[in-house]
Amino acid sequence: MTDLTTHRRPDISIDQQLALRTAAVRLADEFGGVYGTETVERFLHTSYDQFALASTVPHFLPLLAERFARQRLQALARVEGLHQDGRPVVLFLCVHNAGRSQMALGFFHHLAGDRAVAWSGGSEPGTEVNPAAVAAMAERGIDISTEYPKPWTDEVVRAADVVVTMGCGDACPIFPGTRYENWDLDDPAGRTADQVRPIRDEIERRVRRLLDQLSVPTRH
């Protein structure tokens, strides 16, 4: 395999080098028969670079890069017609991918389970998920503390059947033939958990309505 860890990042630690090599092997195995090693490594490397530019937790960079690369490869396979399972795909976009879109993603996964696919992203990704949003969702028994802010990429947007935007305005990507919805919601940034609850509840209502429109059975 190509050594991803030395390209433009000669200062990467030995532990991170090992973690990236291990991630590359896992991804190559998962996508064997769909994408070759070179494609897998390119997606892993570019995902690593995107997080490394702004990350405050370098120890977790290889893990974040692997998770993001996996999502991007899954999206690319859908776009290229290499993977079609009939499940609808929804993408939630906001500015920092730290509050509204993460809560929407949490409700979507909780309500739809594996009957539909959802991703999220931001035009200017933050460094962590809003703690008030995490606390508000925890009150509903939904854990979004392991999620992380991330950008969107073309293949992820193009793979979506529905793109839900929340405050990213002109920065949100537009692709012909994709269904778009704009949810006008207050930004949870700088608010307490008490203040985030009404936003959370409105997001839940909208996610439930969207799933109903997509004919996806939900948990009650």
* Span 61-86, pLDDT tens digits: 899 999 999 999 999 999 999 998 99
The CATH number of residue 119's host domain is 3.40.50.2300
Residue 160 pLDDT > 70? yes
Q: What is the residue range of 204's domain?
A: 86-220
Q: pTM for the complete prediction?
A: 0.90
Same domain membership, residue 93 and residue 188: yes
Same domain membership, residue 209 and residue 165: yes
The total of structural domains in the chain comes to 2
Identify whether 196 is part of a domain: yes
Which tokens sit at 4? 């991803």
Q: What is the pLDDT of residues 164-209, one digit of tens each?
A: 999 887 777 788 888 999 999 999 999 999 999 999 999 999 999 9
Identify whether 64 is part of a domain: yes
Same domain membership, residue 75 and residue 63: yes
Boundary residue ending a domain (61, 84, 107) = 84
The C-alpha atoms of residue 126 and residue 103 are separated, in whole angstroms, by 15
Same domain membership, residue 190 and residue 208: yes
For residues 89-104, average pLDDT: 96
Residue 12 pLDDT > 80? no
For the annotated catalytic residues, the residue numbers are 94, 168, 172
For residues 119 and 97, the answer to whether their CB atoms sit within 8 Å is no
Same domain membership, residue 202 and residue 163: yes
Identify whether 3 is part of a domain: no
Same domain membership, residue 95 and residue 79: no
The more confidently predicted of residues 153 and 170 is 153
Boundary residue ending a domain (34, 55, 84) = 84
Which pLDDT value is given to residue 57? Answer: 61
Give the three-class secondary structure for 165. Answer: strand
The CATH number of residue 29's host domain is 1.10.8.1060
Same domain membership, residue 78 and residue 101: no
- Report DSSP state, residue 140: T
The C-alpha atoms of residue 179 and residue 177 are separated, in whole angstroms, by 7
Which pLDDT value is given to residue 4? Answer: 47
Identify whether 2 is part of a domain: no
Which tokens sit at 202? 């409105």
Which pLDDT value is given to residue 1? Answer: 44
Same domain membership, residue 95 and residue 74: no
Phi, psi at 209, each rounded to 5°: -65, -40
For residues 37-41, average pLDDT: 96
Residue 93 pLDDT > 80? yes
Residue 7 pLDDT > 60? no
The C-alpha atoms of residue 95 and residue 123 are separated, in whole angstroms, by 5
Boundary residue ending a domain (41, 61, 84) = 84
